[in-house]
Amino acid sequence: MSTPRKPSIAYVEDVADNAEIIKVLIEQGLGYSAFTFKGGVAFLEAVRQSPFDIVLLDIAMPEMDGFEVLRELRKINPAIPIIALTAYAYESDRCKALEAGFDDYVTKPIRDLGEFKRLLEKYLNRAAAT
């Protein structure tokens, strides 16, 4: 009997410390596979080769901001769940992200691991149902 595949979550973030913290939360806290990418260009190259179940995407990145990465990723895979994971905490920022096409919006730092897990499972379950 084979072991079920762990969900794979990509996190695109330009700050190495932030990326490492989220990677540890995802892998050790939730038991999923996490892959981090320093910026949108590296991520977009990788996503063409390896599929991911969910993408967590920082908005403020110097090379390509999260909105640019979102637009390019939707051309590659229109159905993949993309969640903004950002320090921008204003309601106007949330509205802008959702209007741009993000599936959901989470602010950093992650304060409630259980709530974060429920959010990820919502999108994992939705993808499994299609």
Interval 88-100: pLDDT, tens? 889 999 999 999 9
Cross-strand pairs, 12: 37, 57
Rounded Cα gap, residues 41 and 122, in angstroms: 28
56-95: pLDDT as tens digits: 999 999 989 999 999 999 999 999 999 999 998 899 999 9
Tell me the domain boundaries of the chain: 8-129
The pLDDT of residue 100 is 97
Q: Is the pLDDT of residue 2 over 70?
A: no
Class of residue 55 by CB neighbours under 10 A (exposed 0-12, middle 13-18, buried 19+) = buried
Which CATH class for the 8-129 domain?
A: alpha beta
